[in-house]
Amino acid sequence: MAQRTMTTPIAVEKTQVVRKRMMRENVLAYLFLAPTILAIVLVLFYPIINMVITSFYSRPTLTRPSVFIGIENYLEVINDPIFGQALKNTVLWTFGVTLGQVLLGFYFALILHRRFPGRWLARMLVVVPWVLPGIVVAITWRFMYSQDFGMINLVLRSIGLESLAQSWLGNAQTAMPAVIVVGIWKGFGFYALMFLAGLQTIPTELYEAARIDGAGERHQMRFITIPLLKPVAITSTVLGLIWTSNYFDAIFVLTGGGPARATETLPMFIYNTAFSYYRTEEAMAGSNILMVIVLLLLAFYLLVVNRGAMQKKTEDAV
C-alpha cells in the first residue's frame, strides 16, 4: 500500500510534465505556421467570402450606392438564356474531354507498359502535352485549325479530301468537337501516367496463372487488369471532371466562346459577364454557382476515396 501511494503522485507528476511539454511544442508549431495560415486566409478565403457577400448586393452607380438585394443576382443569372446554353456546353465539354482523356490514357498506358525499344522516349513524349502551358497548347492548335494555312486542312487537301477542309473553329457545328479534341490531347498524358503506375502494381503472377489456365488477353483484361485498375480510374476520372469543368485557357484562346456561343462554357460566361458586359455582381453569382458544382464533385471524390479506404480496411481485417 505504501509503495502504491508513493508511485501514484510520481506518475501524475510525470503526466503533467509531458502534457506541458506537448502544449509548449504545439504552441511553438502554431506560431511557426501562423504566417502561412494568415497568407492562406488572406489570399484564398477572404476573396471567396468577399465574392459570396458581394453577390447579394446590387451594382453601385454614381447616384446610388450598393444595396442588399438578396438572391436577385442569382435569379438574373439562372433566368439568362445564355446561362442555360453555357451550362449545357459545360456538361458536354466536361464529360467529352474527360471520357476521351480516360480512354486515350488507358490505351497509351497499355502500350507503354509493354517492353519495346525506345519505351523511355515514348513515355516522355506522352507527358509533353500535359506539362505544356495551356496557352501554348491553345495557340498551337489554333494555327493547326486555321482554314487557309492550318496543317489539318493542308493534309486534307493533299490527300484529295478538299471538301472536308473548313473553318473548324468558325463553324458552330464543328467548334465544340474541335475544342474537345484539344482538351483531350492536352490532358490524356496525366491518365496515361496514372494507369501506367497502376499497371506496374499488378503482380505478374496473376497473368502467368491466367495464361496457364488458358485465359487469353481479352479475358486477362476483363478479369484482372480492369478490376484492379478500377480505384485508379475512379479517382483520376473524378479529379478530371473537377479540373475540366472550370478549365478556361483553351476555349478562351481558341474561340472565346463562339461562334454564336457554341463553345461558351460557365467560366467563359462568367468572364464575359464581368469584363464584356460589366455586370460584376452577376458574374460573382455565376462564380458561386460554379463553385457549388465543383464542391459537389469534390464531395463525391472524397466520398469515393473514403469508401475505397474503408473497403480496403475491411478486406484487410477479413
Q: Residue 150, SS3? A: coil
| Rounded-to-integer distance, Cα 251 and Cα 245, Å | 12
Q: Cβ distance 225 to 231 under 8 Å? A: no
229 has pLDDT over 60: yes
| pLDDT for 301 | 79
Q: What residue ranges do the domains of the chain occupy? A: 1-45, 75-317
Read off the pLDDT of each residue in 164-190 and give the average, rounded to a whole number: 93
**For residues 122-151, average pLDDT:** 92
Cα 133 from Cα 2, distance rounded (Å): 75
Stretch 184-207: mean pLDDT: 93
Going by pLDDT thresholds of 50, 70 and 90, the confidence category of residue 173 is very high
d(CA 143, CA 210): 49
In CATH terms, 75-317 corresponds, of 3.40.140.10, 3.40.50.360, 1.10.3720.10, 3.40.50.280, to 1.10.3720.10
> Exposed, middle or buried: residue 231 (CB in 10 Å: 0-12, 13-18, 19+)?
middle
Beta bridge partners of 57: 68
Contact (CB, 8 A) for 286 and 73: no
Identify the pLDDT of residue 181. Answer: 96
Please compute the mean of the pLDDT values over residues 226-230 and round it to a whole number.
Answer: 90
Determine the pLDDT at residue 1: 47
At 313, the pLDDT band (50, 70, 90 cuts) reads low
What is the pLDDT at residue 294? 87
3-state helix, strand, coil in the chain (%, to 5): 75, 0, 20
Q: Which residue has 472524397 as its cell numbers?
A: 302
Cα Dmax for the chain: 104
31 burial level (CB within 10 Å; 0-12, 13-18, 19+): exposed
What's residue 2's pLDDT? 47
Q: What is the pTM (predicted TM-score) of this model? A: 0.83
Q: Find out whether 266 and 190 touch, Cβ atoms under 8 Å.
A: no
Residue (of 304, 273, 305, 298) closest to 287 by Cα position = 273
Centroid of chain to Cα 137: 17
**Cell (9 digits) for 88:** 449545357
Find the radius of gyration of the CA atoms of the chain: 28
Looking at the DSSP assignment, which residues form a beta bridge with residue 68? Answer: 57
pLDDT-wise least confident of 1-15, 31-45, 50-64, 222-236: 1-15
Residue 32 is predicted with a pLDDT of: 83
Counting beta carbons within 10 angstroms of the beta carbon of residue 137, is it exposed (0 to 12), middle (13 to 18) or buried (19 or more)?
buried
DSSP 169-204: TTSTTTHHHHHHHHHHHHHHHHHHHHHHHHHHTS-H
Residue environment code for 65-95, b if the CB has 16+ CB neighbours within 10 A, otherwise e = eeeeeeebbbebbeebeebebbbebbeebbe
pLDDT tens-digit series, residues 31-88? 888 888 888 888 888 888 888 998 998 888 777 888 889 899 999 999 999 999 999 9
Q: What does the pLDDT average to over 110-120?
A: 91
Tell me what percent of the residues of the chain surpass a pLDDT of 90.
Answer: 46
Cis bond before residue 133 (omega within 30° of 0):
no
**Span 149-167, mean pLDDT?**
90
pLDDT on residue 143: 93
> Would you say 263 and 176 are in contact if contact means Cβ atoms under 8 Å apart?
yes
